[in-house]
């Protein structure tokens, strides 16, 4: 089983390596990650320093992308906003994974009552519009970036639950699972050692796709004032403040919007590439 799984993973990796769009998207994500990690080192100015004498100025030698309505350096705020937005999305995806995956594994493996109850709860959460539920949870917890992304993670958890449940139901009848049961392995050990490694690929696809959704959710909640609070910068909070100056200085809106677009497209491209490669691999004989 291990040799077959390794061979199938090698095939998946070769297919991904042959797709230029996925390679470009991975390169974009690598650059964004490096920018997020190195933002304090590469930003030319402090992102919260104000210079009211140089408000809404265009690109110059001192400010390569100009200044915003408070005279703050736009480039520095974009760099630090990358750090905040990606970190916030990571928090949301982590919450969704931790809440959804273990319950999905249990429901898919145990079935019957556990599956019935957990699936009805997941269906109830999925029936509520995601942004509306996130706004309600974030409002109840209070306006802050952490609370907003916890709310987003709770909203996305049912999706992870359904992916983990479906993948577990697919593998639970396999010979190696029955062999583990026969040898007396406990349920947690079977789930951790035998089930999870064999349902990991669909979950990785879900992680990449959800990262893109989480970036949009963070931008939406920050735009509504429920996410990043002043003077911190995120892509969404930059859009919120810049929209009032759209006619006077449109680049203040275009730049963070463009970065959001590129980041979401990159995550979705990698997720779609993984999903397509997985579908083609599963159609092949083992």
- Indicate if the pLDDT at residue 16 is higher than 90: no
Residue 220 lies in domain: 37-282
Domain membership flag for residue 123: yes
Sign of the four-CA dihedral 147, 148, 153, 155:
positive
Q: How far is CA 122 from the centre of its chain?
A: 19
Read off the pLDDT band of 1 (50, 70, 90).
Answer: very low
- Residue 118 to residue 162: CA distance in whole angstroms: 10
Is 14 or 93 the better-scoring residue by pLDDT? 93
DSSP structural state of residue 245: G
Question: What does the alpha-carbon distance between residue 268 and residue 211 come to, in Å, rounded to a whole number?
Answer: 8
Query: What is the CA 201 to chain-centroid distance, rounded?
Result: 16
**Can you tell me the distance from the alpha carbon of 149 to that of 102, in angstroms, rounded to the nearest whole number?**
20
Give pLDDT, residue 75.
94
| pLDDT, mean of residues 177-196 | 81
Predicted pLDDT of residue 4: 42
Q: Is residue 5 part of a domain?
A: no
Give domain status of residue 17, yes or no.
no
Residue 247's SS3 state is coil
Query: Does residue 126 lie within any of the structural domains?
Result: yes
**Does the pTM of the predicted model rise above 0.75?**
yes
The dihedrals phi and psi of 67, each to the nearest 5 degrees, come to -125, 160
Residue closest to 25 by CA, chosen among 278, 277, 280, 273? 273
Residues 6 or more apart whose Cβ sits within 8 Å of residue 63: 44, 45, 54, 57, 73, 74, 75
Residue 217 near residue 134 (C-beta atoms within 8 A): yes
Q: Helix or strand or coil: residue 85?
A: helix
The conformation of residue 67, written as its DSSP 8-state character, comes to B
Question: Are 240 and 226 contacting, i.e. CB atoms less than 8 angstroms apart?
Answer: no
pLDDT tens by residue, 257-277: 999 999 999 999 998 888 887
d(CA 107, CA 161): 9
Answer yes or no: are the C-beta atoms of 150 and 91 closer than 8 Å.
yes
Dmax over Cα atoms in the chain, in whole Å? 76
Check which CATH number belongs to the domain holding 214 and give it.
1.10.3720.10
Average of per-residue pLDDT across 213-228:
88
Query: pLDDT value at position 3?
Result: 43
| Side-chain half-sphere CA neighbours of 81 within 13 A | 31
Report pLDDT digits (tens) over 118-170: 999 999 988 888 888 888 888 888 888 888 899 999 999 999 999 999 988 88
Does residue 91 lie in a domain region? yes
274: in domain: yes
Q: Mean of the per-residue pLDDT values for the chain?
A: 86
Q: How many domains does the chain have?
A: 1
Could you tell me if residue 2 is inside a domain? no
Answer yes or no: is 1 within a domain. no
């Amino acid at each position: 089983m291990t040799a077959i799984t390794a061979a199938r993973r090698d095939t998946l990796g070769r297919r991904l390596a042959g797709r230029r769009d996925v390679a470009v998207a991975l390169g974009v994500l690598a650059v964004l990650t490096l920018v997020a990690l190195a933002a304090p080192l590469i930003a030319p100015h402090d992102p919260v320093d104000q210079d009211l004498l140089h408000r809404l100025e265009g690109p110059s030698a001192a400010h390569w992308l100009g200044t915003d309505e408070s005279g703050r350096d736009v480039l520095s705020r974009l760099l630090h906003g990358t750090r905040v937005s990606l970190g916030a999305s990571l928090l949301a995806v982590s919450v969704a994974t931790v809440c959804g995956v273990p319950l999905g594994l249990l429901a898919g493996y145990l079935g019957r009552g556990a599956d019935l109850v957990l699936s009805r709860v997941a269906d109830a959460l999925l029936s509520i519009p995601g942004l509306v539920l996130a706004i309600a949870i974030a409002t109840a917890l209070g306006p802050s970036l952490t609370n907003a992304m916890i709310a987003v993670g709770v909203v996305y958890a049912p999706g992870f639950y359904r992916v983990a449940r479906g993948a577990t139901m697919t593998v639970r009848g396999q010979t190696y699972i029955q062999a583990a049961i026969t040898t007396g392995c406990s349920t947690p050990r079977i789930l951790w050692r035998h089930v999870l490694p064999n349902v990991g690929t669909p979950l990785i696809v879900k992680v990449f796709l959800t990262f893109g959704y989480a970036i949009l959710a963070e931008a939406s909640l920050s735009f509504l004032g429920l996410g990043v609070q002043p003077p911190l910068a995120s892509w969404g909070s930059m859009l919120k403040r810049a929209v009032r100056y759209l006619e006077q200085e449109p680049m203040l809106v275009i730049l963070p919007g463009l970065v959001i677009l590129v980041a979401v497209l990159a995550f979705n491209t990698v997720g779609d590439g993984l999903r397509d490669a997985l579908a083609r691999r599963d159609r092949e004989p083992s």
